[in-house]
Amino acid sequence: MQSLHRIAVLAGDGIGPEVTAEAVKVLKAIEEVSGPAFRFQYGLIGGCAVDQTASPLPAETIAICNNASAVLLGAVGGPQWDNKRPELRPEQGLLQIRQRLGLYVNLRPAKVIDSLANMSALKPDRVRGTDILIVRELMGGIYFGNPRGIFAKNGERLGVNTEIYREHEVERVAHRAFQLARLRRNKVTSVDKANVLESSRLWREVVTRLGRSYPDVELKHLYVDNCAMQLIDKPTSFDVVLTTNMFGDILSDEAAMLTGSIGLLPSASLGEHSALYEPIHGSAPDIAGRNRANPLAAIASAALMLRYSLHMEDAASAIEQAIERILKRGVRTAELPGKARPSSTTRMGDLVAQTAEKILKSMRPKKK
């Protein structure tokens, strides 16, 4: 009998509970074929946690995550918490869980699905075939450097943030990027601002040195402003994009728009012993509770969980194939154009669950 994997489910705020429920639904459909595989444990994070516990990341949630094989997260935040003190903002829960679990690398795939190529902001012929994996450093850089804050000096206020990268922080994320490139098309583009920033000069030196250990992987360096242009001009030329915390935050959203909708894209945040999976979209409070949110990014995040944490490649592939088949059939949620009567959140989840189950069954060897 296969062991049960503990999955921490942190639904969060806004549409988080709705889309996460559909991801869990699809995982339960996988169990119908594979047998019992998951034990779900639920915890609070973000604004709902602030309301119930006065903390965006309660101790009980940390304990659940520490005992889990992986964490599945929905979304955090909403306007009702905008006036909270900085330490009580819902987003602090997300930053804290990354630190607590040691999640130092964020993977954001941006793949253009043929049936949705006409949704891109660019011409379909330019984006068709785009398949990018952005590897973003997640625990260093300007988001975490000190000193930081708003200070008074010489009669006026100044805001201070500090960009810091240590050599080992660059090494560990670069190793991940090169290893992932070996599973794809053997190309890494490292993005920095080495012509201006000392932290970027260290970044480029370390990545260049490590690249010599991966002679089968082609390494290219780009300044971030040039990379932003190239993503629009030649998106199909990219394979793995390796970059810093802040640059990765910005470039991954740009890459997402090549696909036509940020509501389709998953992410994985990985450490040495823990991992967290979440859609890259926000909590969309304006449509929360209306059964119209797109759950595909949350479902695709569950597929990444199966691949990277649980090593269930067939199941991950079945989910991803199911998503592509359903979109090819013209099924759309409300934010995707092309359907007079859009699918609801729950209906989309049902379709993916049913289709993934059929695909996974077809992968299994037939009994003689």
Closest CA to 210 of 240, 167, 175: 175
Region of 241 (left: φ > 0; alpha: ψ -120 to 50; beta: rest) is: beta
286 is catalytic: no
Return d(Cα 225, Cα 180) in angstroms, integer.
24
User: Which residue of the set 225, 234, 328, 339 is catalytic?
Assistant: 225
Would the CA dihedral through 290, 292, 293, 299 be positive or negative?
Answer: positive
**88: Cβ contacts below 8 Å, ≥ 6 apart:** 50, 54, 55, 56, 81
| 317-321 CB contacts, 8 Å cutoff, 24+ apart | 317/363, 318/30, 318/356, 318/357, 318/359, 318/360, 318/363, 319/26, 319/30, 319/352, 319/356, 321/355, 321/356, 321/359
143 is catalytic: yes
Q: Annotate 207-229 with b (16+ C-beta within 10 A) or e (fewer).
A: beebbeebeebebebbbbeebbe
Return d(Cα 353, Cα 368) in angstroms, integer.
27
- Most distant CA pair in the chain, distance: 84
User: Which residue of the set 28, 42, 143, 358 is catalytic?
Assistant: 143
Phi and psi at residue 43, to the nearest 5°: -140, 165
User: Which residue of the set 42, 131, 223, 253 is catalytic?
Assistant: 253
249 is catalytic: yes
Tokens of 156: 């006026």
225 is catalytic: yes
Is the link from the previous residue into 147 a cis peptide, with omega within 30 of 0? yes
User: Which residue of the set 104, 192, 193, 214 is catalytic?
Assistant: 193
253 is catalytic: yes
Q: Which residues are catalytic?
A: 143, 193, 225, 249, 253
